Amino acid sequence: MKRPIIIVPDPILRTIATPIEHITPAIQTLAQDMIETMYDAPGIGLAANQVNIAQRIVVMDVHYRDDQATRNPIVMINPHLTWTSEELSEWDEGCLSIPQQYAVVTRPKSVRVAYQDLNGQTQERLVEDLESHCVQHEIDHLNGVLFIDYLSRLKRDMILRKVEKQQREQAVL
Ligand code: GNR
Ligand code: NI
């Protein structure tokens, strides 16, 4: 089932998520719900904080945007970076929890990410460019960090004010 996406400035988005020790049926259901919520949004990634659950799980599918016919969602439990390139890359990032706001963020161009899959198996992937930005963006969510934290205070406050205004106007419709 689709779950509501939490929008800034909700404190859950600033909460450090807890490691997942056991892959219970509740975690399996959460993963399925997050996948459904991500495709419905639509987004290329989603972290559990964004559906009000402070546990370390993210879902991703960076190819869905180009090819909406094929779905290859990846579920990452307890993801962490094991290597980051020195080379950097800039990407215009957005976030489902900061609707309709975009800004260029600089991050390592390639990263190696290790995580457990839904079977509890350890996996490792090397990703670059958009996928690298997405992995780092999602791990940031699990640490209570948002892409606007990489911007100047002026830009960050401007974006937050716009979203709050937008949300107020939406609330009265
Ligand atoms: O849908 C999303 N697009 C995106 C684009 C560039 C870098 C990161 C992202 S993730 C975002 C969905 C989201 O908010 N995930 O937390
Ligand atoms: Ni996000």
- Give the count of beta carbons closer than 10 Å to the beta carbon of residue 135: 26
How is residue 11 written in tokens? Answer: 């404190």
Which amino acid, one-letter code, is at 32? Q
pLDDT for res 121: 98
Please write the tens of the pLDDT for every residue from 14-65. 999 999 999 999 999 999 999 999 999 999 999 999 999 999 999 999 987 7
Domain 11-172 maps to which CATH number in 3.90.45.10, 3.20.20.140, 3.40.470.10, 3.40.50.150? 3.90.45.10
pLDDT for res 2: 98
Please write the tens of the pLDDT for every residue from 58-83. 999 998 777 778 889 999 999 999 99
What whole-number percentage of the chain has pLDDT above 90?
92
Phi then psi dihedrals of residue 17, to 5 deg: -75, 150
pLDDT for res 68: 75
Out of 53, 137, 142, give the residue to mutate to test ligand 1, the one with the largest number of ligand atoms within 8 Å of its CB: 137
Tell me how far the alpha carbon of residue 74 is from its chain's centroid. Answer: 12
Quick check: CB of 38 below 6 Å from ligand 1?
no
Output the CA 125–ligand 1 centroid distance in Å. Answer: 18
The average pLDDT across 83-107 equals 98
Ligand 1, atom 9: closest residue by C-alpha: 134
The pLDDT confidence band at residue 154, using thresholds 50, 70 and 90, is very high
Ligand 1, atom 8: closest residue by C-alpha: 134
pLDDT for res 63: 85
